């Protein structure tokens, strides 16, 4: 898998967030998502951008994709990195591949409530974090 970004510009600490796991595990975001998924995703993006701005960490937010269509607001250079999986691929797969490649060189933490994802990324050397714990630090 060829990644669309380079970790060379990132800080030593990387927080990778399983976007839909967070949205569906957070009551307020889940309620907004039922009305408009794009709005819920953008709310999460804003919260994580604020977190990145106040900490020495690079945030990568990964969502399950919809083929070629991206429905996020225009991104700026200093914003978090938002990725969508390709058609036929899951966000879990994208996260696991990023971690497999970069956990050796960077201090990587992955946020998800998917136990299988957290077990897999732990085996690659990344730190698992629950959604509840993420909200405590964010």
Domain assignment of residue 66, yes or no = yes
85 located within any domain: yes
Q: Is residue 128 part of a domain?
A: yes
CATH number at residue 78: 3.40.50.1010
pLDDT of residue 122: 98
How many whole angstroms separate alpha carbon 44 and alpha carbon 23? 8
Q: Is residue 69 part of a domain?
A: yes
25, part of any domain: yes
Q: How many structural domains is the chain composed of?
A: 1
* 6 falls within a domain: no
On the 0-12 / 13-18 / 19+ scale of CB atoms within 10 A, 27 is: exposed
pLDDT at 14 over 90: yes
pTM here? 0.88
Answer whether residue 3 is part of any domain: no
Measured distance CA(8)–CA(43) in Å, rounded: 27
Per-residue model confidence as pLDDT tens digits over 68-115: 444 444 455 568 999 999 989 999 999 999 999 999 999 999 999 999
For residues 109-123, give the mean pLDDT.
98
Question: Residues 96, 51: contact at Cβ < 8 Å?
Answer: no
Q: Which structural domain range is residue 44 located in?
A: 11-137
Give the pLDDT confidence score for residue 79 in this predicted structure: 82
Is 2 contained in some domain? no
């Amino acid at each position: 898998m060829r990644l669309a970004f380079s970790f060379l510009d990132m800080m030593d600490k990387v927080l990778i967030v399983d976007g839909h796991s967070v949205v569906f595990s957070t009551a307020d975001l889940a309620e907004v998502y039922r009305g408009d998924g794009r709005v819920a995703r953008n709310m999460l993006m804003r919260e994580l951008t604020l977190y990145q701005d106040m900490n020495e960490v690079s945030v990568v937010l990964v969502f399950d994709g919809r083929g070629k269509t991206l429905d996020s607001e225009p991104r700026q250079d200093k914003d978090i990195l938002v990725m969508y999986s390709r058609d036929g691929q899951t966000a879990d797969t994208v996260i696991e591949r990023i971690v497999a490649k970069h956990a050796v060189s960077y201090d990587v933490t992955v946020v998800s409530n998917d136990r299988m994802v957290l077990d897999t990324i732990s085996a690659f050397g990344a730190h698992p974090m629950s959604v509840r714990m993420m909200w405590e630090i964010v």
